[in-house]
Structure 1
Amino acid sequence: MLRASRALSCLLAIALPTAATAASPQSFKGEYTVSFLGLSIAKSTFSSRYENGAYSIDGTVSSAGLAKLFDDTRGTISSKGTIAGQQMQPQAFRADYTSGKKASMIDIRFADGAVTSTKVIPAPEKRDPKDWVFLGASDLKSVLDPMAATVIHADSPDKVCGRTVKIYDGEMRADLKLTYDSKGTISVPGYKGDTVTCRMGFEPVAGYRKGRKALNYLKNHSRMMVTFAPLGQTGVYAPIHATVGTQIGTLTISAGRFEAVN
């Protein structure tokens, strides 16, 4: 179940805004639903806080609806680090999941933008060099964990897209390439206002099996769109809606609540 748990972690990470960059303490709360073909399959809640140049995020994830009949997954996600200028610098990421009666865990530690250690339980199976793209030391530099990777620092909505985000989930290193698509507006509990939508390209770098159909589809055929909204007047933009095309249909991630709190 580790692969399913990691996949759920990364999927929900698209929709979990983290910290702000205001001088005074800022806190945010959100609620998200993941649906497939109109049916809810997962839910998450989160709370995040930024204070004195440090951020912390705590979230919960659980399968929902019909998905619970096949894979009753529940877990917690946490991330913490600092912000230097407009750069997120993670220090630690941890995800703990239980799928049925099987527990899994991912723990990643960082220093100066580079991964210093990764612990995964249960441990991954031995990889065959013939069909596995192994991680190199350079692959783990200047990377973000799945939660820190969701935050975009920009001077204006026009500058949100047009960038590449380097993400590491405990096994795979991938690049998420954001290109501008459109502007719009949205209204959800806690937020009503302008948005900017980016098309997201997926490029696996290392830590994956060659020839995997699902990865090839995400890279070459999937249409992935992410809509960002500002977190108050902080200069931070976080996802409020996203769609990910898969071989069997489209996954939709929607915010049911998106708000700054005192």
Structure 2
Amino acid sequence: MPRSSHALVAALVIALPTAASAASPQSFKGEYTVSFLGLSIARSTFSSHYENGAYAIEGSVSAAGLAKLFDDTRGTISSKGTISGQKMVPQAFRADYTSGKKASSIDIRFSNGNVTSTRVIPAPGKRDPKAWVPLGAGDLASVLDPMAATVIHADSLDQVCGRKVKFYDGEMRADLTLTYASKGTISVPGYKGDTVTCQMGFEPVAGYRKGRKALNYLKNKSRMMVTFAPLGQTGVYAPIHATVGTQIGTLTISARRFEAVQ
């Protein structure tokens, strides 16, 4: 998988709200823009549906603006699973995308929240055992896929932050920690109301190469802030705005539309 494509998909996944947890069927739609230094570099859209304790999400991502001159990446992402209490229990995650003429895909399957299989095309190359941190026993138990990891089930805005999320993207296992930063309000097409902002910490656990500067920066120096808003009356809180500090500048992910649909 091209590293640039992987990074784009990871960034956009932050901006893909997922399922609802209400008793009646509910659907949501959203549109997001990723910008760098004020310039739009990517766009994403999503649709999600919840019914009878099951969720399903479909999204699309594509490079935009000047980014298309350097990496014309586009693709689709899907996720499905169930909700048990306030816990997301993924069943399957898939991403299919192209960068230029190169096609890539990630397919992850789960059972009771544990990863049972991972298929990445093209297959990763041989790993240097001295430089690579391998996945260990238990690393893929009770983890969330990239979509399920982006939403929070909570009783109120006050309880959204103050938690750790175990995240697996088909190669790397990492922990995301959310610490309370502030409350506020926001107005975008489809939503106007209260929000809560968490500072997000990043800790790679396994499935990565030691000494990678980008990962070290995310872990030790990056300032990552995620603002959550409620999806209707569902008890689900999804990102509506985020900033991610990188070695070359700050990525900003903003909702252009964030709404429940009939």
* Alignment TM class, shorter chain as reference: over 0.9
Residue 82 of structure 1 aligns to a residue whose secondary structure is strand
Q: Distance in 1 between matches of 2:74 and 2:26?
A: 28
Q: Which residue of 2 aligns with 1:142?
A: 142
Q: Which residue of 2 aligns with 1:188?
A: 188
Q: Which residue of 1 aligns with 2:57?
A: 57
Q: Distance in 2 between matches of 1:234 and 1:220?
A: 35
Q: Which residue of 1 aligns with 2:99?
A: 99
Shift of 1:14: 0.8
Q: Which residue of 2 aligns with 1:85?
A: 85
Q: Distance in 1 between matches of 2:143 and 2:179?
A: 19
Alpha-carbon contact 1:2-1:122 (below 8 Å) kept: no
Shift of 1:152: 0.2
Q: Distance in 2 between matches of 1:206 and 1:7?
A: 17
Shift of 1:136: 1.1
> Deviating runs (4+, > 3 A) in structure 1?
none
Q: Distance in 2 between matches of 1:92 and 1:3?
A: 23
Could you tell me which amino acid in structure 2 is paired with residue 178 of structure 1? Answer: L
Shift of 1:113: 1.0
Q: Which residue of 2 aligns with 1:108?
A: 108
Q: Which residue of 1 aligns with 2:18?
A: 18
Task: Single out whichever of 1-10 and 101-110 deviates more from structure 2.
Answer: 1-10
Q: Distance in 2 between matches of 1:206 and 1:8?
A: 21
Shift of 1:51: 0.3
Q: Distance in 2 between matches of 1:144 and 1:2?
A: 23
Q: Which residue of 1 aligns with 2:6?
A: 6
Q: Which residue of 1 aligns with 2:246?
A: 246
Q: Which residue of 2 aligns with 1:128?
A: 128
Q: Distance in 2 between matches of 1:137 and 1:8?
A: 29
Alpha-carbon contact 1:6-1:169 (below 8 Å) kept: no
Q: Which residue of 2 aligns with 1:151?
A: 151
Shift of 1:9: 1.7
Per-residue displacement from partner, 1:168-195 (whole Å, max 9, x unpaired)?
0000000000000000000000000000
Q: Distance in 2 between matches of 1:54 and 1:9?
A: 24
Q: Distance in 2 between matches of 1:97 and 1:213?
A: 25
Could you tell me which amino acid in structure 1 is paired with residue 77 of structure 2? Answer: I
Identity of counterpart residues, as a percentage?
86
Could you tell me which amino acid in structure 1 is paired with residue 57 of structure 2? Answer: I
Residue 140 of structure 1 aligns to a residue whose secondary structure is coil
Shift of 1:3: 2.3
Q: Distance in 2 between matches of 1:216 and 1:50?
A: 37
For structure 2, list consecutive stretches of 5 or more residues without a partner in the other structure: none
Alpha-carbon contact 1:200-1:225 (below 8 Å) kept: yes
Per-residue displacement from partner, 1:27-81 (whole Å, max 9, x unpaired)?
0000000000101000000000000000000000000000000000110000000
> How many residues in Structure 1 have an aligned counterpart in Structure 2?
262
Q: Distance in 2 between matches of 1:38 and 1:122?
A: 33
**TM norm structure 2:** 0.99
Per-residue displacement from partner, 1:226-246 (whole Å, max 9, x unpaired)?
000001111110000000000
Shift of 1:4: 2.2
Shift of 1:6: 2.1
Q: Which residue of 1 aligns with 2:216?
A: 216
Calculate the aligned-residue CA RMSD, in Å: 0.6
